[in-house]
Structure 1
């Protein structure tokens, strides 16, 4: 599958390189064309074969069967405008988080903003972990593969992203519709705040067996 990536930072490197290893082709874009080109070359070097190239925002958007948005919140609107109409109706993976966890605004969810600005089928995913987690092959903790919640409304987009989650060796989880992405973003803001404070945020949740009685899924 061809994947366009808006952004040439750590998330582009970590996720994009893993997807190249899984056999996909990636187009990386960024504000600095030379940095984007260097990022693509670095990804190819890590994998040991060509699978990444660089391009403009619009070229990355047009090239991908699915497009990942991995840019900072401050530049989000400008980047999506530069990516252009190719994003309309396309599956879009939103991996973004707010600029600062203590200032996350639940009235302005990023996933909904991306959907409104692009007309694409947005799936919120991959925003709960530090970039180094996505460099693990695979991300396994205590013998248990990492689970990745997905929030989105479009069945085809969700199916494509589930496959990309599995390509990392992770387990996709149904997190509900795109309206629930705000909860996923708020969860990230809360957990990141705990991690920044030196707390083991994972320790705040009990295992499933101790979470009470539930109806079968």
Structure 2
């Protein structure tokens, strides 16, 4: 599969590394050309401009900070129209850990409207250190990865890419569910900022108090 990484940060690195190991062909775009080229070399792929990478891709992963999303979408233009797109981003500000999007509206829906692509929301609930695990397993069980979207082809490709990480895919509905995944991410990010281990972010039992049996 030809995967276009639109973004050259830690998420693109973590997921791209695993997908390259699974035999996929990757191409990388980033706001900083040197950074995109360095990641492409690491992945055994090549770098290009945003529109070039979008045109190359059988499926594209958009992985940028929410502040850079308008620039990224402008650079992509219409090159993703009709194509499978995976959105792993979280529009969460870190002062009060609230969503920056219109209430009830997901960033994934905005990306679909802007690009004309077929968007699935996935990979947004875990820190990059979890995606770097080979594979992500907890108590000897594979990580369950929820995803949502309307397009059957994009859902199938996402299912495959989740499986390639050694994880268990969990389809939770249409793209309208993306708002809930993004809201959940706001809680996860707040926990990470307050010092919870990324590998055990939901392990919130206070061990200083006895646990009722």
Could you tell me how far 1:53 is from its partner in structure 2?
A: 0.9
Separation in 2, partners of 1:72, 1:192: 13
Is 1:127 aligned to 2:124, yes or no? yes
Question: For each residue in 1:136-166, what CA deviation from the matched residue of structure 2 results, as whole angstroms up to 9, or x when unmatched?
Answer: 1100011010010011000110000000000
| 1:53 corresponds to | 46
Once residues 85 and 76 of structure 1 are traced to their aligned partners in structure 2, the CA distance between those partners, rounded to angstroms, is: 15
Tell me if the contact between 2:3 and 2:26 (Cα under 8 Å) persists in the aligned partners. yes
Does 2:78 align with 1:78?
Answer: no
Pairing partner for 1:192 from 189, 198, 213: 189
Matches within 5 A, 1:1-217: 1-43=1-43, 50=44, 52-101=45-94, 102-105=97-100, 106-199=103-196, 201-203=201-203
Q: Is the 8 A contact 2:92 2:186 kept in 1?
A: no
Offset, 1:108: 4.0
Gaps of 5+ in 1: 44-49, 206-217
Q: Using the alignment, how far apart are the partners of 1:9 and 1:31 within structure 2?
A: 10
More helix by share: 1
CA distance in 1, matches of 2:4, 2:73: 13
Using the size of structure 2 for normalisation, the TM-score is 0.88
3-state SS of paired residue (2:69): helix
Q: What's the TM-score once normalised by structure 1's chain length?
A: 0.87
CA contact (8 A) 1:3 1:64 kept: yes
CA shift, 1:107, in A, is 3.7
Runs of 4+ in 1 over 6 A off after TM superposition: none
Aligned residues: 198
Could you say what secondary structure the match of 2:79 adopts? helix
Offset at 1:36?
Answer: 0.7
What SS does the aligned partner of 1:93 have? strand
Q: Distance in 2 between matches of 1:201 and 1:5?
A: 27
